[in-house]
Every structure is written in structure tokens, then in C-alpha cells.
Structure 1
Amino acid sequence: MRYVALLRGVNVSGKNKLPMALLREALKATPFCDATTYIQSGNIVFNADLDITTCEQIIADLLKAEFDLNVPVIVREQSAIKDILKVNPFETRTIENSKFMSFGFFDKIPVTEKIDEVMSFSTEIETFKIVDDVMYFYCGVGFGKTKMTNAWFEKKLGVTSPHQSFL
């Protein structure tokens, strides 16, 4: 199975430094095959004959043991990510302004009441849609200016969101 692992908060503003070359080297000691990383994001693509939970635990343990990092890890099948991109509710906006569009995963499905509360913050220029454990976010003010950061969503929804990827 081909997987994508998303790590929260590595190589951001000089914190949780994780050199990708060292990470790739450390991954050679795992049961993963063909592991590659994506730029300095901490995203990992790999093959494994293991379930998602086991893959998440292996990566979390590796990060702690080799790099003294305790960061959230979410693993998804690569095909699931492709499917998520196909159903993007803001597709017409991404064609015009892809730099303002992202999607992210939560570690669990947020409680409906909390989603309803957070939706009250949605505007025409900063809007989002939560589908199960995935959030699509159109941020017309720009990601450097918004107050709706990963940490903001985590606090409001009571979830962990390791990563937002830009479309």
C-alpha cells in the first residue's frame, strides 16, 4: 500500500528542525519501502504492508527516538488523498486562486456542535468546509494574515490537525 504521512509543526519558524536527508536515512530502519520526503514540510510518501495506525506509531516512535520530536503524525492512503482532492468544494476558487486554498486532516471527526459553532466564523473571503476528518479552507486574506490557523481550528474543534496542504 502507498501511504502519505503528514507531520505537524516541523521546520516551522526555526522550531522542531528535522532535516529531510536525516529523516530519509532514519526511515531505512523501518519496515517502509521507497520512502521519500517532500521539500522541508515533513511529508513522507512510502510503501508498507501495515495498517495506518501501525505506520503512525512507527513514525512517531522514530521521531521521538532519533530526533527527540514529539509531533502529531497522520497517515493516509495515497489514493484517499487523490479522492479528497477530487471532491474539493471550492474547486472553482482554486482554479483562479490556488495559493489561497488548502486542505487538512484532523486526528478524529469533530463533534457536530463544535463544527456548527466554528462555521459562524466563515465569511466569503475566509470560508471552510469540514467533511468527516478533512477540512477544506479557502483563505482569501492569505495564510500569513489569517487568525484561522491550525492551532485556532484545533482549539475550537477539540482535534489535532497535523498539517494543511496547499492545493
Structure 2
Amino acid sequence: MRYVALLRGVNVSGKNKLPMALLREALKATPFCDATTYIQSGNIVFNADLDITTCEQIIADLLKAEFDLNVPVIVREQSAIKDILKVNPFETRTIENSKFMSFGFFDKIPVTEKIDEVMSFSTEIETFKIVDDVMYFYCGVGFGKTKMTNAWFEKKLGVTSTMRNYNTTTKLVSL
């Protein structure tokens, strides 16, 4: 199975620094095959004959043991991410300006009451849709200006989340 691992909160420098070259080297000690990373924001694409939960645990344990990092790891089948792109409810807007489109990947499905509450913040300019454990977020004001950050969604929905922009998400299905 081809998987994509999304690491929450790793950076090129500063807090939670994780050099991707060192991560790729460390991944060689795992049962994963053909592991590669994409850009410095914590994206791993790999093959494994394991279930998602086991893959998440292996990566989390590796990050703690090798890099002293305790960061959330969300793993999805690569084909599932491809499907997410196919059903993007904001595809027309995305085609017009993909820099305003991102996807939130949650560790679990938020409870309906919290989804209903957070949906009241959706506007024409900052609009989002939550389907199961994925959020489609078209942020017309730009991600640097919105108050609806990843941390904001996590707090409101009671989930762990990591966001990826449209271009990164698209690239992760092609690797």
C-alpha cells in the first residue's frame, strides 16, 4: 500500500527542526519501502504492508527516538488523498486561484455538534466544508491573514489537524 504521512508542526529551523535528509536516512530502519520526503514541512510518502495506525506509531516512535520530537503524525492512503482532490467542493475557485485552497487532515472525525458550531464561521470569502476527517478550506483573504488557523480549527473541533496547501497535496499524490 502507498501511504502519505503528514507531520504536524515540524519546521526547517527553530522549534521542532527536522531536516528531511536526516529523516529519509532514519526511515531506512523502518519496515517502509521507497520512502521519500517532500519539502521541509513534514511530508513522507512510502510503501508498507501495514495498517495506518501501525504506520503512524512507527513514525511517531522514530521521531521521538531519533530526533526527540513528539509531534502528531497523520497517515492516509495515497489513493484516499487523490480522492479528496477529486471531490474538492471548491474546485472551480481552486482552478481560478489555487493559492487560497488548503486541506485539513484530522486525526478523527469531529463530533457533529462541533462541526455545526464551527460552520457558523464559514463565509463567502473564508469558506470550508468538513467531510469525515478532512476539511476543504478556501481562504480568499489568504492564510497569513485569516484568524481561522490550524490551531483554531483544532480547538473548535476537538481534533488534531495538519493543513496542506493545494500544490503540496497535489504533489503528494504524484510521488
Q: TM-score scaled by structure 1?
A: 0.97
Report the counterpart of residue 20 of structure 1 in structure 2. 20
Alpha-carbon distance, 1:109 to partner: 0.4
Number of the residue aligned with 2:109: 109
How has the CA–CA distance of structure 1 residues 161 and 12 changed in structure 2, closer, same or farther, with 3 Å as cutoff?
farther
3-state SS of 1:92 partner: helix
Moved more, 7-16 or 129-138: 7-16
Q: Distance in 2 between matches of 1:139 and 1:151?
A: 15
Inter-partner Cα distance in structure 2 for 1:12 and 1:137: 24
Give the C-alpha shift of residue 91 in structure 1. 0.3
1:7/1:163 contact within 8 Å kept: no
Return the offset for 1:41.
1.4
**Moved beyond 4 Å, runs of 4+:** none
Compute the TM-score of the two structures, normalised by the length of structure 2: 0.93
Matching of residue 46 in structure 1 with residue 46 in structure 2: yes
Tell me, in whole angstroms, the C-alpha distance in 2 between the residues paired with 1:112 and 1:158.
11
Between the aligned partners of 2:101 and 2:41, the Cα distance in structure 1 is: 17
The separation in 2 between residues aligned to 1:78 and 1:164, in whole angstroms, is: 14
CA distance in 1, matches of 2:165, 2:72: 15
In structure 2, how many angstroms separate the alpha carbons of the residues matched to 1:134 and 1:53? 17
> Do the aligned partners of residues 66 and 13 (structure 1) sit closer, same or farther apart at CA in structure 2, a change above 3 Å counting?
closer
Shift of 1:15: 1.9
Q: Does the 8 Å contact 2:24/2:37 carry over to 1?
A: yes
- Work out whether residues 102 and 163 of structure 2, in 8 Å CA contact, stay in contact via their aligned partners in 1: no
Is the 8 Å Cα contact of residues 94 and 101 (structure 1) preserved in structure 2?
Answer: yes
Match for residue 93 of structure 1?
Answer: 93
Cα pair 2:99 2:165 within 8 Å, conserved = no
Counterpart-to-counterpart distance in 2, 1:154 and 1:37: 25
Distance in 1 separating the partners of 2:9 and 2:132? 22
**Cα drift, residue 12 of structure 1:** 6.4
Distance 1:34 1:46 in 2: 5
Aligned-residue Cα RMSD (Å) equals 1.5
Q: Post-superposition shift, 1:104? A: 1.6
CA distance in 1, matches of 2:86, 2:71: 29
Alpha-carbon contact 1:118-1:157 (below 8 Å) kept: yes
Could you say what secondary structure the match of 1:85 adopts?
Answer: helix
How far did 1:36 drift? 0.3
Query: Contact 1:105/1:162 (CA < 8 Å) preserved in 2?
Result: yes
Shift of 1:13: 6.6
1:48-95: per-residue Cα shift (whole Å, max 9, x none)? 010100000000000000000000001011001001100000000001
Percent identity between the aligned chains? 97
Aligned length: 167
Q: How far apart in 1 are the matches of 2:32 and 2:69?
A: 20
Q: Do the aligned partners of 1:126 and 1:141 also contact (CA within 8 Å) in 2?
A: yes
